[in-house]
Amino acid sequence: MHLKNIRLHQFKNYNKASVHFSEEINCFVGINGSGKTNLLDAIHYLCLTKSALNPVDNLNIKHQKDFFTVFGDFDLHGKEIEIKCIFESGKKKQLIQNGKAYDKMSEHIGLLPVVMIAPDDTSLIKDGSEERRKFFDNMLCQLNRKYLEDLIRYTHFLKQRNALIKQFAEKGRWNAELIEPYTREIMQLSKSIARMRHDFLKEYEPLLIEYYKTISGDQEKISIQYETQCLEDGFESTFKANEQKDFILRRSTMGIHKDDFVFQISEYPIKKFGSQGQQKSFVIALKLAQFMVFFKHLNTKPILLLDDIFDKLDDNRIERLMKLVADHEFGQLFISDARPERSQGILASMDADCRFFLIEEGEVTDWS
Amino acid sequence: MNFPSKLIEDAVNEMSRLPGIGKKTALRLVLHLLKQKESVTEELSHALLALRKEIKYCQKCHNISDTDVCSICRGVRRDRSIICVVEDIPDVLAIENTSQYQGLYHVLGGVISPIQGIGPDELKIESLMERIRLAETEDKVEEVILALPATMEGDTTSFYITRKLKALNIKVSTIARGIPIGGELEYTDEVTLGRSILTRVNYSAD
Ligand SMILES: [Zn+2]
């Protein structure tokens, strides 16, 4: 699969731009703030219907304008797929595939896989469990329709249950009969989702270990500890026993929204015990393993977006990552770099079709 | 939109408050009325006013009615042992139009949704229980059909009502959901198809 071209209108700092891409390597060069990352983000929009950086669509409209459009043509197994993403302030976002609008955005997820690597972004390791759940949810949703549907249902029932608990708290009275349908759904969906998360890690973790070794050159053993109460024996009775606590705290205190994925190095949390370099390698390995899992399941190599890797990684890690590129591990590649000579130097030796684009204040020109 | 007349502007504004009617459509309707005889507008306003002032809701099933008890609830040929529970009035009309159902109805007026502040007390759920409990011996209710929307809210409402009905010891059923007539399996969405398989029915070749 690859993206043949993209057309932007009033997207972030772009007024109008139209770019034709190489099937192999595309490198966006230009000073910081010129719009390199925004172009990567536009590709993310086409693949996943949303920004990788800013979840609020409104904030992705060019300053003082009231709509944006991102259009692109993909080649998927030889079939042409045109995707149009249209967002007008105050209206519902529209996503159109070959002239037909999707009823639900979620129907598009999984068709055009994409992986974005921003090595400086160690929030996956450093932030709270929500970031990590989002990462795995996002991945599983692209791979498994049942997971996506269960998660949508779960999120909805959780909102309803929490609203109900708030009302109970205000009235000072718990209504067991009324909350029962929500509790039942949440317990059932928690078990199903936790099971899918658990099974997925059995496949994902070995890939992660492999890529961590490749990128870091370390011999340290890494692992993921999946922490959940939802697969324990007697989960249902614990859940019910916990309702007293729900009532006091005015929200649901058990379920898969409390799970965590603890990243470990030599059996210690990498958050506390990993060096900066180890954390960066870990983040890259997480994304590369994601790439490989998508490739295996979806039978097409995902688009890979590499944001600012040459600046944020040391030479050894860049060299090992580029070896993977040279070995044709990846499909279509998009790279952003503030220093054109550097990326040209690194990419020149590749046996691949490589195109450079100069980005200046939201204008794109071919450059070589 | 700028109007040459305040009278037209007021009429358009009022008209465009109706669902599905934009300013342009409203203007077209207003101008249309102006071209017709005055009596057309008079009859329309009279009908609307009468509708608003005289409309009643059936005391038993909460369907729309001209009288205290609606024509379905009064119908001599209706089967009083079955009550079909629906979300709202249009659902009654839809089921009536199938001509496949001879029982009675019960209109809830919505489904339970805590986020929107709709709980059982905002709906006609207790009135359904009362109705079943108080039915005269000859009108004893034997079955309740739940015909609520196939949404998460519809399903939780069905579950809640089913639990409540358990104590009254009557049969509860829900309308079947599945492949539309003439529908191809491969074009049916996965959730519907999955559910159709889980709730499959016996097939008899008699
Ligand atoms: Zn009635």
Q: Tens of pLDDT along A40-56?
A: 999 999 999 999 888 89
Terminal-to-terminal C-alpha distance of chain A? 25
Look at residue A270 in the predicted model and tell me its pLDDT. Answer: 95
Please tell me which of the candidates B115, B119, B160 has its beta carbon nearest to residue A181.
Answer: B160
B→A interface, C-beta within 8 Å: 112-115, 119-120, 152, 155-156, 159-160, 163-164, 190-191
Query: Is the CATH number 3.40.630.30 carried by domain B6-54?
Result: no
**According to the annotation, is A31 in a ligand binding site?**
yes
More confident residue, B193 or A302: A302
How confident is the model at residue A7, as a pLDDT?
A: 97
A359 C-alpha to ligand 1 centroid (Å)? 70
**Cβ-based neighbour number of residue A95 at 10 Å:** 21
Q: Is residue A119 over pLDDT 80? A: no
Question: What is the share, in percent, of chain B residues with pLDDT greater than 70?
Answer: 100
Mean pLDDT of the A3-7 span? 97
Does the annotation flag A33 for ligand binding? yes
Average pLDDT, integer, range B68-91: 95
Contact between B103 and B147 (Cβ < 8 Å) = no
At the topology level, CATH places domain B79-175 in: Dna Topoisomerase Vi A Subunit; Chain: A, domain 2 (3.40.1360)
The structural domains of chain A, ordered by start, are: 1-113+300-368 (3.40.50.300), 124-298 (1.20.1050.90)
pLDDT tens-digit series, residues B103-134: 999 999 999 999 999 999 999 999 999 999 98
DSSP string, chain B: ---S-HHHHHHHHHHTTSTT--HHHHHHHHHHHHHS-HHHHHHHHHHHHHHHHH-EE-TTT--EESSSS-HHHH-TTSEEEEEEEESSHHHHHHHHHHT---EEEEE-SS--BGGGTB-GGGTTHHHHHHHHHH--GGG---EEEE---SSHHHHHHHHHHHHHHHTTT-EEEE----PPTT--GGGS-HHHHHHHHHT-------
Burial code (b: 16+ CB inside 10 Å, e: under 16) for A162-172 equals: bbbbebbbeee
**pLDDT confidence of A343, banded at 50, 70, 90?**
confident
Chain centroid to Cα B48, Å, comes to 21
| Residue limits of CATH 1.10.8.420 in chain B | 6-54
> Closest Cα of chain A to B99: distance in Å?
32
The pLDDT of residue B47: 94
- pLDDT, mean over chain B: 91
Cα–chain center distance at A264: 21
Give residue-wise pLDDT tens across range A136-184: 999 999 899 899 999 999 999 999 999 999 999 999 999 999 999 999 9
How far is the C-alpha of A82 from the C-alpha of A86, rounded, in Å? 13
Of A82-91, A312-321, A355-364, B104-113, least confident by mean pLDDT is: A312-321
pLDDT per residue over B6-54, tens digit each? 999 999 999 999 988 989 999 999 999 999 999 999 999 999 999 889 8
Domain with CATH 3.40.1360.10 in chain B: 79-175
> Mean pLDDT throughout B84-99?
95
Chain A contact set for B152 (CB, 8 A): 153, 156-157, 160, 185
Q: Are B108 and B146 in contact (CB under 8 A)?
A: no
What is the per-residue pLDDT for A324?
Answer: 87
User: Average pLDDT, stretch A230-241?
Assistant: 96
B50 CA distance to ligand 1 centroid (A)?
A: 21
What per-residue confidence (pLDDT) applies to B195?
81
* CA B59 to centroid of ligand 1, rounded, Å: 7
What's the pLDDT band for B200 if we cut at 50, 70, 90? confident
